[in-house]
Amino acid sequence: MKISLKVEGIPVAKGRPRFRRYGKFVGTYTPAKTLAAEKKLLSNVNKYKPSTPISEPIHLDITFFMPIPKSTSKRKAELLCKEQKPHIKRPDLDNLVKLVKDALNGIFWNDDSQIFSMNVSKKYSDCPSTEITISTITDTSEQQKS
């Protein structure tokens, strides 16, 4: 099984959990920006959702296309897009991946532990988006043979 998805919009990193005091107790909550980003991701990929979550080992290919800063000259911006230069600024790559994995967990696959490998990158683009390809182990072994 192979599922390819594209989510338009600026990729958002998973925020750290926040803590709140309730009298003698402390509770945790997820920041609103993170919750909104997870909901947006899910609403955009719901049509690709399998009828039942995948239970096989999974390989993920994720490419985050990050926006070009407004202060960048037109010439440099064109060069960044044309050559698909790597994005080496914040947000961190692992936090971007966490948001995707947490949003799709339990819907596209049963548990994150099924993910045995990933190819992940951040690149500049004039059209910010996230491209995700979910492959089961049978798909990846067939690719390695060819």
Q: For 94-118, how does the pLDDT look when each residue is reduced to its tens digit (9 = 90+)?
A: 999 999 999 999 999 999 999 999 9
Question: Number of structural domains, the chain?
Answer: 1
Q: What is the DSSP letter of 88?
A: -
DSSP SS3 for 118: strand
Sign of CA dihedral 97, 62, 55, 3: positive
pLDDT of residue 75: 87
Q: What is the DSSP letter of 97?
A: H
DSSP SS3 for 28: strand
Tokens representing 14? 């998973």
Cβ count near 128 (within 10 Å): 16
Sign of CA dihedral 125, 95, 88, 117: negative
Task: Give me the domain span that covers residue 111.
Answer: 2-145
Tokens representing 7? 């989510």
**Residue ranges of the chain with pLDDT lower than 70?**
139-146
pLDDT of residue 143: 54
Tokens representing 21? 């005091």
Q: How far is CA 144 from CA 34, 49, 110, in A?
A: 36, 26, 25
CATH number of the CATH domain containing 73: 3.30.1330.70
Global confidence as pTM: 0.85
d(CA 93, CA 42): 20
CB 129 within 8 A of CB 140: no
